Amino acid sequence: GLYDNFLSMKLKDPGMLGVCTGLDWLCFSDLLNECVLHGQNYSLMRYFPFLPAAFHHLYAANSVPRINYPHSHYEVRECNRQRERMLSIRPYP
């Protein structure tokens, strides 16, 4: 949900520093996940909860935001299925 919704938050930040900081946190989380999964360094898993806390600190508001159910994975999967169907029915010369 963090990946799909943080760009739609209403921010009073003309320099987009909050968005850049959020992207830095996402990069940090991806690097951390890669170190845990590929390097099997499970002691780094203690830092996983910091991403949602950082996003709350960056994007919390008094008004209730409209949060959408994460759908990007579904859209990519459907696009891939459609592409595979198109390639399978394409006539070969």
**pLDDT tens sequence across 7-60:** 677 777 788 888 888 889 999 999 999 999 999 999 999 999 998 899 888 877
Residues 57/7, Cβ–Cβ less than 8 Å: no
What phi, psi does 17 have (nearest 5°)? -65, -35
Report DSSP state, residue 63.
S
Residues 53/47, Cβ–Cβ less than 8 Å: no
The total number of structural domains that make up the chain:
1
Q: At what angle do helices 17-39 and 50-59 cross, to 10 degrees?
A: 170
> What range defines the domain where residue 26 resides?
2-89
Residues 51/26, Cβ–Cβ less than 8 Å: yes
Structure tokens at 92: 């070969």
pLDDT at 64 over 70: no
Entry pTM: 0.61
